[in-house]
Amino acid sequence: MSTPEHYQGQQFDVLDFIEDQNLGFVEGNIVKYLCRYKKKSAPLPDLKKAAHYLELLIKREERCKENTNIESEIEGQVWASSATNAEPNCDPKTIHMST
């Protein structure tokens, strides 16, 4: 498989970097779009895609922080997930893109 033009001329392979850093789907897409936008004839779509995935990451981290704070307030009790306040998946290797 040939390397697309917008990935050529870099000192490192983006996929190798993403795998080396053990990044998940969302983080990997942020890196991918930021590494290639300058080489595109229309860079704004890639910047908007990077921003979209960054917003997903921010929302996931905010939900994880909220749950961590709630769990620390409920000492000795088991966190119970329900359909209305399910605990988000905080594992960055997991695709979790609900908004």
Per-residue pLDDT at 88: 54
Judge if pTM exceeds 0.85.
no
Q: For residue 63, what are its two tokens?
A: 């939900």
> How many Å apart are CA 87 and CA 85, to the nearest integer?
6
Residue ranges of domains in the chain: 5-72
Q: Is the pLDDT of residue 22 over 90?
A: yes
- Is the pLDDT higher at 64 or at 84? 64
Please list, in sequence order, all residues whose beta carbon lies within 8 angstroms of the beta carbon of residue 81, skipping any fewer than 6 positions away: 87
User: E strands along 1-99, which residues?
Assistant: none
Q: Is the pLDDT of residue 35 over 70?
A: yes
> How many Å apart are CA 8 and CA 88, to the nearest integer?
37
Q: What is the mean pLDDT of the chain?
A: 77
> How many Å apart are CA 50 and CA 77, to the nearest integer?
39
Q: Check: CB of residue 88 under 8 Å from CB of residue 60.
A: yes
- Is the pLDDT higher at 81 or at 95? 95
